[in-house]
Amino acid sequence: MKKKMSLPMQILIALLLGIAVGLACYFGGFASFTANYLKPFGDIFVNLLKFIVVPVVLLSMIDGIISMNDMRKVGSVGIKTVAYFMVTTAIACVIGLAFANVFNSAGLFPVLDAAGAEYEANAFGGFMSTLVAIFPTNMWKSFTDANMLQVIVISLFLGGSILAAGERAKLCRDFVSSAYAVIEQLMSFIISLAPIGVFTYMAWVVATQGSEILVSLLLVIVCAYLGYIVHAVLVYSLSAKIFVGMNPIRFFKGAFAAMIFAFTSTSSAATLPVSKECAAELGAEDDIASFVLPLGSTINMDGTAIYQCVATVFLASCANIHLTIGQMVIVVVTATLASIGTAGVSGAGMIMLAMVLEALGIPVAYIGLIVAVDRIFDMGRTCLNVTGDIACSVCVTKWEGRKN
């Protein structure tokens, strides 16, 4: 019998085909064909993923909590997870700043005139009101708005309460595991369509982004990508090797499908179903991955942190502002917080960049200088964000004394 090609292989072929078709359309002058007739199929695929993301996060987290069977275990997994997220994000900021400063002092960043730059940021209410807003007043509204931080809080409360209610909650337990089984089934069907999403989005990006703005910002993009790559090689390889005893090549091979999918979809939330498959393949325990991955896709954004640091140094240099060491520390702190607040959807990291710029007194309108190429930055940062989530689920499995 003929063996079916594995999903990572299908995704890789779709990626290469997408690049080839995108280049052909770009040089043949058919860029609008990709935008009008290929991208919509990618959009359908991403819509399907978005439509299951709220039930996936809700049921996956509740199911993970219930399977741990003990609130203390949930606390122990939670602390390790958040500690891993915070430490790796802070390291990401340092790497991003280091590369940005090297590029900046070597005069490699272009000096762009920001006179015509336009960008309007949403007003930030400050830390305390952001904290208050994480707690929902209406559960259904959190679901319809897909407010993932609120959905996570709801999952924690419901999961904890089901455990606390013991025998009386048996019906709820059974309901959650049965509903989750249905969603998993649906997820695997949607994931099997991933090659279509990867092909169409890749062809569209390659055919439509080849403009002069890309060339003028090329070195800023290169700087961010160097940061992404060094972070992946340094932090995730070492995590896999030191904490799990896993060969880094094996780790990246296992995470490959989710990485490519994140790269093309630019959404950690939409990649969640694929990340779950990859984490399972790498030996992460189901209850732990069910808890870590949804949380990570919402708050753990190492790639976004690197991007925000690089963009901040670049935009500061365009504004003729020389950042002092004290201001760099502010960048690390605000970029860490901004990346936590960044939703796992396309382009969210750029919106939160405004928070870092505001903290440093750099005009937010300067974001207008990089907005046109945000998707290129976003592809790499989302890829890194998702890899970090998978790495964490594998490490926490090990730290909890389970075998990988």
Binding site for ligand ASP (CB under 6 A): 266-268, 301, 304, 342, 344-349, 378, 381-382, 385
Residue nearest to ligand ASP (CB): 349
Q: Report the candidate in 120, 129, 404 with the shortest Cα–Cα distance to residue 245.
A: 404
Residue 347 CB, shortest distance to ligand ASP, in Å, is: 5
Angle (CA) 244-245-246 rounded to 5° is: 90
Residue 346 CB, shortest distance to ligand ASP, in Å, is: 5
Residue 11 CB, shortest distance to ligand ASP, in Å, is: 18
Closer Cβ to ligand ASP, 31 or 343, answer by number: 343
Closer Cβ to ligand ASP, 232 or 345, answer by number: 345
Closer Cβ to ligand ASP, 67 or 385, answer by number: 385
Closer Cβ to ligand ASP, 200 or 271, answer by number: 271
Residue 311 CB, shortest distance to ligand ASP, in Å, is: 11
Residue type, 143: F
269 burial level (CB within 10 Å; 0-12, 13-18, 19+) = buried
Residue 264 CB, shortest distance to ligand ASP, in Å, is: 12
Q: Report the candidate in 169, 142, 170, 172 with the shortest Cα–Cα distance to residue 154.
A: 142
Residue 374 CB, shortest distance to ligand ASP, in Å, is: 8
Residue 328's contacts (CB-CB under 8 Å, 6 or more residues apart) are 97
* CA 186 from centre of chain: 22
Residue 349 CB, shortest distance to ligand ASP, in Å, is: 2
Closer Cβ to ligand ASP, 67 or 147, answer by number: 147
Closer Cβ to ligand ASP, 56 or 68, answer by number: 56
Q: What share of the chain is helix, strand, coil (3-state, %, to 5)?
A: 80, 0, 20
* CA 270 from centre of chain: 9
Our CA dihedral for 251, 241, 244, 272, rounded to 10 degrees, sits at: -30
Q: Is the dihedral of CA 232, 237, 240, 242 positive or negative?
A: negative
Token pair for 227: 């940061």
Residue 249's contacts (CB-CB under 8 Å, 6 or more residues apart) are none
Residue 274's contacts (CB-CB under 8 Å, 6 or more residues apart) are 191, 194, 257, 258, 261, 262
Residue 212 CB, shortest distance to ligand ASP, in Å, is: 24
Closer Cβ to ligand ASP, 266 or 290, answer by number: 266
